[in-house]
Amino acid sequence: MLKALIFDMDGTLVHSDPTHLEAFAEILGPEGVVIDEELYRSSIIGRTNEAIFASLLPHRTVEEHVAFADRKEAAFRRMALDLKPLDGLVDLLDWAEARGIGIALVTNAPVLNATHMLDVLGLAQRFSVKITIEEVERGKPDPLPYLTALRRLGLGPEEAIAFEDSPSGMKAAKAAGLFSFGVLTGLTAEEMKGFGADRSIADFHDPALWEILERRVAA
């Protein structure tokens, strides 16, 4: 029986990737790194800042990577002031709460970003469990963030459903044993299927989502 919904944040709760791209471009442009859609999709989306800056600035030190990441996230928070929840998300959260279904967040983002984004979206009180990058030794694509959320929820993977938009996130959710929806804010349905998605949805109004939710609740 379905007992929890577990959400990634960027690209899943909200279509924030364009704002992240803009923040990366602002910080890395002076370093001669051109951030476009192709590079964002191939080298940034869903990855940890540690991995991103190590690959884009390999000649810099780890300490410098941390400093660049801090500047990028500060720029993102400055830019991300008027984003809205993905279509249908609030209805889904209301539906889950009315049925006593737990709601959790699992993100590679730092806690400052998660707090800022949930406040901007008006969702700060909706998540009983929040796993940010500081909470775990290894971020996605490692399954540890999802396994940590399941442990805090007191549930097995068969009792929850995950929502992800990135290759690393989908790999993490599937490695943790979760039935997982791919949210198509950045990748195609075929791409998400290739990374393990059980189903793909354009947003949270998608009939494919509600068919499965109603069936899992009735199980």
Q: Which residue numbers are catalytic?
A: 8, 10
Tokens of 29: 């442009």
Cis link prior to 141 (omega < 30° from 0)? yes
Q: Virtual CA dihedral for 71, 75, 77, 81, nearest 10 degrees?
A: 170
User: Residue 30: which residues within 8 A CB-CB, separation 6 or more?
Assistant: none
* DSSP-H helix ranges across 89-177: 89-98, 111-121, 144-153, 167-175
Q: Among 160, 151, 161, which Cα is nearest to 131's?
A: 151
Tokens of 177: 């044993």
Q: Among 124, 178, 121, 171, which Cα is nearest to 149's?
A: 178
